[in-house]
Structure 1
Amino acid sequence: MIEHWQQVYRHLHAHPELSGEEHATARLVADELRAMPGWEVTENVGGTGVVGVLSSGPGPVVWLRADMDALPVQEVTGLDYASTVPGVMHACGHDVHVTALLGACAELSENPVPGTVVALFQPAEETGSGAQQMINDGLLDRFPRPRIVLGQHVSPLPAGLILSRPGTLMAASDSVRITFLGKGGHASQPHTAIDPLLMAASLVVSLQSLTARQTATAAPPVLTAGALHAGSRPNIIADTSEVLLSLRTFTDGSRERMIEGIQRLAAAEAAAAGADQDPKVEFYDHFPVTENTPGDTERVLAALTTAGLPVMPMNNPITGSEDFGAFGTAAGVPSVFWHIGGIDPARFTDEDGHYMLAEGALPPRFPSNHSPHFAPDPTQALPAAIATMLTAARAELTRP
């Protein structure tokens, strides 16, 4: 059966779809679920979302979640099953998530446990909107309400290694768009223009002072400039420029301070340049902090450990973001999320045989999620991810 899931994974990887456009992916998911005995399948939940329900008699209700969308990244892995869609790639491993959950669903169908499993195949995680779209579409009223929500994410770690922690697991995230409004002109006469590119470039440097002032806090924020756009020719001073930022924070207070600081520094750059108009600052694609429910998280991780799966506790939360927590929050129930490795463990050993991860470092030039080089090893990642989700689900279904 694992060979079938390898084929499904390769198909999904070769045919990625962006957030909100997961039509073919959703059809594949629905078809696979309908081929399994006992699953009731509902499509078009919150857009392209798919929900499967497997009822196996009296017992608890457990929700299992996988996200389906890809990223606007041009793949350069060179894999023989690389993306066939120009400029679109499963660079975050959501193809692993979908295939692993389908594999777990198949196992639960063949060897059912009393209770009810609800499998959520979610669209638009990368924009932070998919989970809420499913909730807004009546998810809690149309399907059995859960006792707990479980989810996992493949990461650039040794295949099968599970990392998690109770409490704060992942950061909140905001995307920021800043548009400077200047005065265009000829490059040979900059004195006649108000250059928005200089405002944007100066702001990118100045913004680093915001995070520098919070480095001593328990969980300092992260602010990254991902794009700067201005002009089209070397001899033209543009009228406008645009800066795109990614903000990661762990507390409401930190987020508020960072938002105020971004707005203040952007306005100061425009004023210093003599711009006639204030910059336009927009915040969008918000992700909440991902919180693992204490007690429930320790119990799930203990079940994974008892089953012989490798679990490594995390000392600190990570600065990546997820909208997974919206499900548990909306349902008012515990949620547990973990990261699982998807890379050949041999790649984590240096030339001298040292295990790089043990020293707190990834091998040099190691591609992470969102990289055009990111390529989990499906022969190792899929069996591990299927086993992990299946073990956690069965543990929660059989819990008194």
Structure 2
Amino acid sequence: MMSPCIRTLLLMVSICLLSACSGGGGGDDSPSSPPGSSSTDNGSSGDSGGSNGGDSGGSGNTGTTGLLPGDYVSVGNCVPFEGSENAELKIFFLNINDAPYFDELVNNAVFEQFQAIPPFSEYFSHLAFYQLDVGSGEDFNCKGTNQGLNGGDLLQCDDEKIHQEILAQCDVSDINGLIKVAFADSPNGGSAGEVIYVGSNSNLDQETVLEKQTNTVIHEVGHNFGLADFYGGGINKNGDAVEGWPSERSREWRNLDGPGCSKWCNSFKPASEYTQSETSVCPTLTTRDQCVSHNRLEDGDCTKDENGVYQCCAWSETPDDYFGSNCAPVWGTEDIGLDCEAGAGCFYGGAYGNNSWRPVKSWEDSIMYGPDDSTAFDSVSERELRKALTCCASSEDGTAACEDFREEYADFLANEQLWKQRLGSCGVGSAG
């Protein structure tokens, strides 16, 4: 199992193209663009949300319309290899130019992930799986984006060209309504967005590739369902806080929250009682020099404990809204949550920065933290996935119980999940 420190963590978001997010400030270890969803690099699990063009529609686009219960994408001329053509969600696996181990990766995704891991396993009959070969030497502009943590590359290709290939083979009523996972021969990490890209390295043997891609597909699809990553985005060696997504954006994601985690906890302990961790001293440091020198090496690297957890502090010009101090931990492993739902707590850090709070502590606690370290979703992520599957991809979507959820979720897709605007019968669809 791979150590977290060598993971390539991704998720640069196309939201940044709209000037809505700000990065962490020029440190050597922070992503050069703010991140947002997840992926792998044939040796590490990570994330990258965003698409590089193509026709994924935003809420302001013309030619789009709100979706009604029961309004699902239809696919003609192509037959699913697993599931019914009448299933609510269609998942397409795309083989770009004979990607290595494509069949093995697809079978693993379908039968070891979607069919085996709750809550997708409970809704397996609502999923239809297709596979297509795309390209015969064509150039899909696939490249590494150099946006991953510690210089790791993300794999991204041209969404529009991928869409054109699908439409040339299948009659699809709304291309953006499909969940698309494209595999390409690449050593670079993958990225999640309107199209999910996963690199499969022909220089590695099949067993190694499958091991390194453990639960990657279901993790990436989790981003399409509005789930954020829980891991951190590195540190800034100059001592500035890694902001990741701004608080007002990151906390809107289904499995992140503000101080106290009111989405899944009923109360929380005050900052005065945050005393159980190495970094609890950070809020007491009143000057920038004190803050940025605490548990730092000469080159600005942050010291770590035996579990690889950062032990240093970071400085922000704006006082943190929980600690009330300009100096705060780089990352938190102390639970402030009280009376939380079973299996959940409230830990400092998420969405690639230290301005959000997550429900679990460590890599092994959730597929949304470390897909190759965990075998299940955490309780909060599972709950949110189940809500979306029920109200956006089942016959329950038209019930009174789903009415409020659908309205709230459509707003989330339109305003936060800017690169994936439709999920089943939730969100917006093509007018034609």
Fold-level similarity (TM above 0.5): no
Higher fraction of helix:
1
Higher fraction of strand:
1
Q: Could you tell me the TM-score, scaled by structure 1's length?
A: 0.28
Q: Could you tell me the TM-score, scaled by structure 2's length?
A: 0.27
Q: Which has the larger radius of gyration?
A: 1
